[in-house]
Structures are given as structure tokens and as C-alpha cells.
Amino acid sequence: MKFSPTVLFTTMLLLAPGVSLADNSVSVSCSGNGSAVASSAGSYASVNCSGQSAAMPRGVPVTKKFKLQNYSTLSVSGTYNLIAKLGSENSVTITGDSNYLAKNEPTVRDAGLQISGPGNGESSYDIVVLATSLEKVRLSGAGNAEVTGYFPSGLSLKVSGAGNTKLDVATEQSIHIQRSGAGTISGAGSAASLQLEASGAGAVNLRNLKVKNASIEISGAVSLSICASQSATGTITGASSAKVYCEPAERAISTKGSSSVRYR
């Protein structure tokens, strides 16, 4: 069924000429050569098609648990609240909009778990990830994340976009953190060494993450604090600042531009 110009939904209830209401949106298209523009606010998502608008209720909040095959890499994108931790099983529990979740379930490919959350302006996912082994975490979009546990093989964390990331981790190996965009990273725990690359704006507070050796490459406008007991090396450029705690014997962090470093 089509209206000209209007919107075609898989399931619809006609309210008035040119306007329709979808109980569950599956596909949206305009008749003729019109183009559909989708947006969302409050309890409804809406579509404007060649000057005509249609509104559809969001789905209901649901919680689904997925038991999955082994994975060692976790990638999450979109808008989300994430808790990732080591446990006795490989599973994902997601709470979110039923319409979106029905079309975007987590997948595992080549030992990598991928989860796509809703985009900006939509309700976020609440995600709990359990893994028997986890070595890499990749986060993008606008999300909040907590990563906790003992990582025997070390941990690699890559964060892009905006949001807040909290670490409470321990390893006898290295922790490698790459951060770009805006947002904050805070950390507690311990590791043999820290390799940190940060750009953009925001804060990286790793004062409570105790390491022996730290290597940093910082650019942009980043506020950094770290704890290194033996060595602190690297470069800071732009308008960034760093505070180095735990009195390392080797202090070899160079600065360029208006950047600064202080040892406490």
C-alpha cells in the first residue's frame, strides 16, 4: 500500500490521508521520487517524506541474553551503557528497544564479538558482556563503559568518540590504550607497563592504575595523570598537560607547544 507522497510501513494503521502510524517499523520508503528522513524524540520515532510526516511508537524495553561461542575481542558502537568483565561463560545480556534489538543482535566472527547499539538521539542499550577470555576492547560512538577483571594476557583498549570509560583491571602484562575524540578514561588496578596514545580533548585519569613503566604519546588538549614507579617516557604536544605520580627514576617525557608535564 502506498500514498503519494507518504511513507510505506510493513505494519500500519491509517490515521488520515498522507499520515500513517506504524506499530513496528521494518522498512520505510517514499512513493515517487521522494526521500525519507527519519528522526526520533521522546516515545516516538518519526519519518518525513516529501513534506508529509508519519509517527511510530518505539518498541517496548526488553532484556535478552545471548550465549555465544568463544571470543577474545569485543567491539561496541552506537549509544550504550556497557559493563564488560571476565566470567565463567561467554554471554551478552542486552536491555533496549524491542524494535531495534530484533534487527541488531550481537554476532561473533573470527573470535570477535560485535554489538551495534542505536545511533545518536535514540534510546541507548544497556549491555553486560561476560567473557572467559578477553584481550581487546574496541569502543566507538557515544557510550559509557566499565571494563573489569584480571587479564592474564594483557589488555588492548581503543576508544573513539565521546563518553566515559572506567577501568578496574589487573595484569602482569601490558595495557595498551588508544583514545581519540572527546570524553574521559579513568583507571584503577595494576599492570607491568602502560602504552598510551591519546588525542583530541578530554581527560585520561590513570593515577590509580599502578604500572612500572609508562610510554605516552599525547596530542590535542588532553589532561593526563599516570602512576609509573620506574620509568615515564614519551611526547606531549599541543595544549595537553600531564601529571606523573609514583616518583619514577627515569623521567623522559618531552613537551612541545604549550604542553606541560609535572612529576609529583
Residue 45 has pLDDT above 80, yes or no: no
Residue 145 has pLDDT above 80, yes or no: yes
**Span 94-128, pLDDT tens digits:** 998 888 888 889 999 999 999 998 876 566 789 99
**How far is the C-alpha of 165 from the C-alpha of 168, rounded, in Å?**
10
91: enclosing H helix or E strand? strand 91-97
Please, what's the b/e burial string for 101-135 (b: 16 or more CB within 10 A of its CB; e: otherwise)? Answer: beebebebeeeebbbbbbeeebbbbbbbbbbeebb
Q: Give the angle 102-104-105 at the CA atoms, nearest 5°.
A: 85
- Report domain extents, the chain: 7-57, 59-138, 151-264
| Residue 71 region by backbone torsions, left for phi larger than 0, else alpha for psi between -120 and 50, else beta | beta
Q: Which pLDDT belongs to residue 12?
A: 36
Peptide bond into 5 cis (omega under 30): yes
**How far is the C-alpha of 220 from the C-alpha of 182, rounded, in Å?**
10
CATH for 59-138, options being 2.60.120.620, 2.160.20.120, 2.60.40.420, 2.40.50.100: 2.160.20.120
Extract the C-alpha cell encoding 252.
Answer: 623522559
Proportion of the chain above pLDDT 70, given as a percent? 77
**Span 48-81, pLDDT tens digits:** 565 565 555 567 889 999 999 999 999 999 999 9
Q: What is the mean pLDDT of residues 84-92?
A: 96
Ranges 116-120, 172-176, 189-193: which has the least confidence: 116-120
CATH for 151-264, options being 3.40.50.300, 3.90.260.10, 3.30.70.260, 2.160.20.120: 2.160.20.120
Q: What is the mean pLDDT of residues 18-41?
A: 46
Instruction: Count the Cβ atoms, other than its own, within 10 Å of residue 254.
Output: 11
Q: Supply the DSSP string of 184-228, one letter for each residue.
A: EEEEEEEEEEEEEEE-SEEEEEEEEEEEEEEEEEE-SEEEEEEEE
Proportion of the chain above pLDDT 90, given as a percent? 66
Residue predicted with more confidence, 206 or 41: 206
**Span 204-238, pLDDT tens digits:** 999 999 999 999 999 999 999 999 999 999 999 99
